[in-house]
């Protein structure tokens, strides 16, 4: 009985354990639950790019455009250079390139978007996307989002954003900026029967290129072609760039000047330019190697005009409304001295003044007494001496009809004893100027006598010389202290007379080397050209002319200080009357 009871207890305990510890289902045991263990915190690690199992696209965009101003200009094509690489371990498939503008602009066309079939691991690709702007694009900015959509969802991340500045159409601006010559006689002057090589410089001062640029050169009367092309093909002229037109010409015996008419055209035929160039005879022009215009970078919004050194005062000389056929002029330019420094631009001054007197004042060429490098005997022959005032000028003047214009460019000098001023002939020794110079007192006294006897309408005297004993080229007097000598004031006493001098008695008359003229004559002629018409009534009086030349802000005094660091103040005496009517 005890044995049966022990077996029953053993069986019951075994059954209970099997039921609660490991239930059998189809021959399998349910595992025993593991003891709950709190997980340990793992250290943070960063995966390097070469550990990516998937495709991994990286991209770089570079923007470039031909004008190099960073603007997408009208009629311009900019390029986005895409550099793409797959740094993952599996290929990227069917990669679709997308460039999406924030706001659609019909004036910009996008070219070059495509689908790349496959980019293998480690493979690098370069592709160009073009932005093409038409001529209707407006100034502003446009924002693009660049995306790459990959077949399996491994897209470019992050997306790229590029903001492109745009600029509306700015036309090219073709300008004839300069010209120069080479002549057979090598004196840089245009003369009859002489063959002359002309170089004309054209610059684009606009902000966009001039395409298919063409030039034609039409010759004026009595100017004949030696080597002149029917058409000059200048091609593209970029902003700030310049190109040259070259021609060889000759004049006949009827010619008095050379007129060249330049016509410039470009691809649209909307911005043509016409320019007339006047090359007066016997005026020193620039040599070809003196044309210097450095290329300038164009900066938005405008390009500054090229700074030129040319004879701008000698071109486009105004023409008088009426001819003044009874007027008489004496024009003297003394450049080459035997006993004093040369006056570099005196002959050029005289030649240009002659053109203004003839064209702008309307004087007959036959009534202009013109001399270069006048000797003392020439002064006496024209103006007379202390004993006789009836020189060549007296003979030319018509009683009650004539007006008189006198111009002198050259040296002046003082008599150190009397402090009187003298004009210096080219054969004069300035140290003995009272003996072989021509005194201002004699000049003014004789002019007064001529004016009284001939009843001259009015007299204008312009003297571009200084009387201090020194000059821009050096001292005229030897063995004296280099202190300026002040001369006595001497002038005309006759009514209806005006006297201009380039400087006061103790100052130096400066050159304007860049313009190949004296500073005073340059501004005097610029005033005659129209700048001195202060009240804009179409007339220029002697007083207006003086006010213009002596202007402290933009006249001779200002430019003498700026260019040569000297003081120069023009003087004026006399009555106010009309020079240009």
Beta bridge partners of 363: 324
For residue 489, name the pLDDT band (cuts at 50, 70, 90).
low
**Domains in the chain with CATH codes:** 51-167 (2.60.40.10), 174-310 (2.60.40.10), 328-580 (3.40.50.1460)
Per residue in 341-350, pLDDT (tens digit) is: 888 889 889 9
Per residue in 101-133, pLDDT (tens digit) is: 999 999 999 999 999 999 999 999 999 999 999
Q: Note the pLDDT of residue 472.
A: 54
Element (H, E) at 126: strand 124-133
To 5 degrees, how large is the angle CA 195–CA 197–CA 201? 155
Residues 180 and 185: their CA atoms lie apart, in Å, by 15
Per residue in 522-574, pLDDT (tens digit) is: 999 999 999 999 888 989 999 999 999 999 888 999 999 998 888 899 999 99
Residues 227 and 154: their CA atoms lie apart, in Å, by 69
The average pLDDT across 71-98 equals: 93
| Cβ 276 vs Cβ 316: under 8 Å | yes
Residues 527 and 548: their CA atoms lie apart, in Å, by 7
The average pLDDT across 210-235 equals: 92
Tell which wins on pLDDT, 219 or 4: 219
């Amino acid at each position: 009985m005890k044995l049966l009871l022990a077996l029953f207890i053993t069986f019951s305990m075994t059954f209970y354990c099997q039921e609660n510890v490991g239930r059998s289902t189809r021959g399998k045991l349910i595992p025993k639950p593991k003891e709950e263990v709190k997980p340990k915190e793992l250290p943070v690690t960063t995966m390097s790019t070469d550990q990516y199992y998937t495709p991994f696209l990286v991209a770089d965009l570079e923007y470039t455009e031909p004008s190099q101003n960073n603007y997408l200009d009208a009629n311009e094509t900019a390029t986005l250079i895409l550099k793409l690489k797959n740094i993952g371990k599996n290929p990227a498939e069917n990669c679709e390139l997308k460039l999406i503008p924030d706001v659609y602009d019909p004036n910009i066309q996008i070219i070059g978007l495509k689908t790349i079939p496959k980019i293998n691991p480690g493979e690098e690709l370069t592709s160009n996307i073009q932005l093409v702007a038409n001529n209707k694009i407006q100034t502003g900015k446009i924002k693009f989002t660049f995306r790459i959509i990959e077949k399996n969802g491994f897209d470019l991340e992050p997306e790229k954003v590029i903001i492109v500045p745009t600029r509306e159409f700015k036309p090219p601006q073709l300008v004839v900026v300069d010209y120069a010559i080479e002549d057979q006689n090598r004196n840089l002057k245009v003369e009859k029967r002489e063959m002359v090589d002309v170089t004309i410089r054209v610059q684009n001062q606009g902000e966009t290129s001039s395409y298919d640029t063409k030039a034609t050169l039409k010759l004026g009367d009595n100017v004949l072609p030696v080597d002149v092309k029917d058409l000059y093909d200048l091609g593209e002229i970029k902003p700030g760039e310049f190109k040259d037109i070259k021609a060889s010409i000759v004049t006949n015996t009827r010619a008095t000047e050379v007129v060249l008419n330049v016509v410039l055209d470009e691809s649209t035929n909307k911005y043509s330019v016409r320019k007339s160039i006047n090359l007066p005879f016997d005026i020193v022009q620039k040599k070809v190697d003196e044309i210097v215009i450095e290329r300038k970078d164009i900066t938005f919004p405008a390009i500054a005009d090229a700074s030129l050194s040319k004879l701008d005062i000698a071109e486009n000389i105004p023409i008088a409304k009426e001819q003044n056929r009874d007027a008489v002029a004496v024009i003297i330019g003394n450049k080459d001295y035997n006993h004093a420094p040369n006056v570099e631009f005196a002959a050029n001054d005289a030649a240009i003044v002659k053109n203004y007197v003839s064209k702008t004042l309307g004087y007959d060429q036959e009534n202009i007494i013109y001399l270069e490098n006048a000797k003392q005997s020439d002064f006496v022959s024209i103006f007379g001496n202390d004993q006789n005032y009836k020189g060549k000028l007296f003979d030319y003047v018509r009683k009650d009809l004539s007006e008189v214009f006198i111009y002198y460019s050259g040296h002046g000098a003082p008599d150190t004893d009397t402090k009187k001023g003298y004009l210096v002939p080219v054969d004069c020794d300035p140290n003995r100027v009272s003996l072989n110079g021509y005194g201002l007192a004699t000049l003014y006294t004789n002019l007064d006598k001529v004016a009284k006897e001939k009843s001259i309408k009015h007299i204008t005297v312009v003297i571009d010389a200084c009387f201090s004993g020194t000059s821009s080229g050096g001292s005229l007097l030897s063995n004296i202290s280099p202190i300026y000598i002040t001369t006595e004031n001497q002038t005309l006493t006759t009514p209806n007379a005006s006297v201009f001098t380039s400087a006061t008695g103790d100052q130096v008359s400066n050159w304007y080397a860049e313009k190949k003229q004296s500073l005073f004559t340059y501004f005097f002629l610029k005033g005659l050209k129209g700048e001195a018409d202060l009240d804009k009534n179409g007339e220029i009086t002697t007083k207006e002319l003086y006010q213009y030349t002596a202007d402290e802000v933009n006249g001779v005094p200002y430019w003498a200080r700026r260019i040569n660091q000297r003081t120069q103040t023009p003087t004026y005496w006399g009555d106010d009357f009309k020079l240009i009517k």
